[in-house]
Structure 1
Amino acid sequence: MTAHAIVVDLGFGDAGKGVTVDLLCATGDYGAVVRANGGAQAAHNVVTPDRRHHTFSQFGAGTLAPNGPVPTHLSRFMVVDPFALAMEAAHLVSLGVADPLSLVTVDRRALISTPWHRAANRARERARGADRHGSCGMGVGETMAYALDHPDLAPTAGDCAVPSRLRRKLTALAEALGVQGPGGEGDPDLEECLEAYAAFAGRVRLVDETYLPRLLARAPVVFEGAQGVLLDEWHGFHPHTTWSTTTTANPLTLLHEAGRPGDAHRLGVLRTFTTRHGAGPLVTEDPVLCARLPDRHNRDHPWQGAFRVGHLDLVATRYALAATGGVDALVVTHADAPDRLGREPRWCTEYRDEAGTPLSIAPGPAGDLDRQAALTRRLAGARPVLAPIPEEPAEAISRALGTPLAAVFSGPTRADARVVTERGRAVPGP
């Protein structure tokens, strides 16, 4: 049986996880896409060869596979937003996917993100003023924080099938957060939420902890990560991070729990240049690149902030590889960027501080946020040492990182991919 695949972003997100998962599901025999972190704030863009476009948030990015949609499993590590899931399903219907919600299984233990969480998230971010963290404004972090403080009262997907229990938890949630609804329009409507969540429980398949081990034994799956390693809750540049483990740790944990440790091929995805949304370090940032490399699917966002672009950052990428424990192969996207740039592409080979002294970075133990905040302050004064990329960018990246290529994308669709590795390892060939 083909190994399970783990897709992880080696940057700040937006590297191309969606197109990678779409390619895998189009060319390989995968039984499901398993979402292993994040929530509705994910935005994985897939453009099919016939130019249909969908931004995947909670559905797996294999839903538009040419041989039929690949089912989605939302694991216990997901933060599920039933309202957002219904909206996403509606758009998939408009693209020709019949009954998308019937494709979804949800672990009953997965947390539910509600309008109360979203309102609290936005109020907290507004209160930060100029010190915003770069939140997506979807309430995912607030959901995680509330669950840590109130583990027995945090609403879960399983609660949606038990109206009395969910009512009790939502009432406690509203009282604890004490916020108004989105836009200051008053409190979210409890009855409306209860009705919507009951409909959610009736349309998807809620499963227990025995489901995923059986799924993994039956067929290979693709673990689709969200955000990027440089935004990881423990290894990212605090506080400009996500409340989510964005490394390969969650998929590896799920495999270990299922008795299948090591039974996966890890794919690291990165662009030929570096991007991030909103506040936080971007050492190689260059406004010229932002103007010359526009991204129609990633633009300035009212909550995340500006979409920023910089030169390919080998220092940060090596940091991400160390933080996630390495990968088995690389998927490089936007290989056509040098042609669009109109000049010789460059990459960052080293950081120096303001005095010109080399500055090195390395991940520390998970949980030391004071250390990560200190690292963020150091990066604020870092200066990139830039050099021309010596050859075709994808091949140069592979050699510089000592990691083989799996696939190279020179455009937005699976038809624009050049598969490098052999069938059965990373990205299967057509």
Structure 2
Amino acid sequence: MSQTLIAGANAALPTDTISIRILSDQPIDCAAYRLASTAKVRGDGDMVFYGQKSSDDGSVSFRGHETDGFFDIQLATQPAQIEKIALAFSSDKTLAQIGNVDIQVLQGSTILLTCQVEAGNRSEKAVILGECYRRQGSWKFRFISQGFDGGLKPLSEHFGVEIADEAPVPSQNNSFNNNQTNINTARQNSPPPIPAASSPSPSVNLSKITLTKNQSSINLQKKDDFGKISINLNWNQRPDNSEMPKKGRLSDLFKQHSKGIDLDVGAMIHLKSGEKTLIQALGKRFGSLNTAPYVLLREDDRTGQSTNGEWLDINGAQWAQIEEVFIFAFIYDGVPNWAQTDGVVTLHVPGQPPIETRLTEGANAKPMCAIARLVNKQGSINVERINQYFGGHKDMDQAFGWGFSWQKARK
């Protein structure tokens, strides 16, 4: 039987691995901060968020996405200097606009504690949700629900994180249109600044780039080796509203349901050699990272219940061999309802801010979404948002002229 906490209340935790689940109806940016006796982080490695999903020692990590995220915390292995682990979120909307935010503390699949941040008319855009803290050799959890002025940057600085005030450098290339931004990863015409010896360069960059209708593409400047490029598809696996209780009934809200929506991610790859190939779980076409097509689908989640979503990896050292990677997703199991999935695709390129696009415009009768494409433009990576929906693979193929021969298949 789980225990429900009100703001200010605390409860004992097992000295073991726990998960803290944060649920919201609107996208929010969650973060965890490991704090020493000074109530500050010891360094940038003590912050966990969308741009750094694990602490420096791996004992705190984030999985899931912006509306249903988990922090996994190994309490038994926390460094002796760590006295608290604070959990918070920020948004560009007020709490009143976001709505209630629900919290679960779990051990495995067992819910130990539940809490709810009630939105009411609250105007804050950031909230310190709660904290795990040491008390006489044991761990406890305190529900805080404390509003905070400002967004993720002042919130992180409050906990002692040094934030890099860096933004993508606009392209000087006039051939790019008004809907496109260029990220320059190096300034070749000027020497790098020399940091003061007493003030090391901060390593945490809070930049995140969201591609929309108005900001539809972005260009990553040419490099000899882009490193391992990872593409994540994540979504809300909770069942539809007809199966879910009304928000606010905590005892019902946290009941587990056995059936969710299963999305599958895939890619069509066009190599410089002229070869075209398909990567997807259907037909067990998982690809290869070290040989052509240099794209790999990680093991498919056939249950549709993974909070990590699904991943495609691209060998950035072989980008010169690739003409285009076309990313798509389809609803493999469950009634097509893109609004319900709250799907988001995030592109992770080493040394660059995360680039995301949300699947927000889908027609519910069409289970296939053409998400984005990565195009090789003279060695650079041009990321182009598509966000178009189709009745199936064949319709999508015909719309973009790939020329594959399609037949029905199952996993």
TM-score tier (shorter): under 0.3
TM-score (norm 1): 0.26
Higher relative contact order (CA 8 A, sep 6+): 1
The higher radius of gyration belongs to 2
- Structure with the bigger percentage of helix: 1
TM-score normalised to the size of structure 2? 0.27
- Is the strand fraction higher in 1 or 2? 2
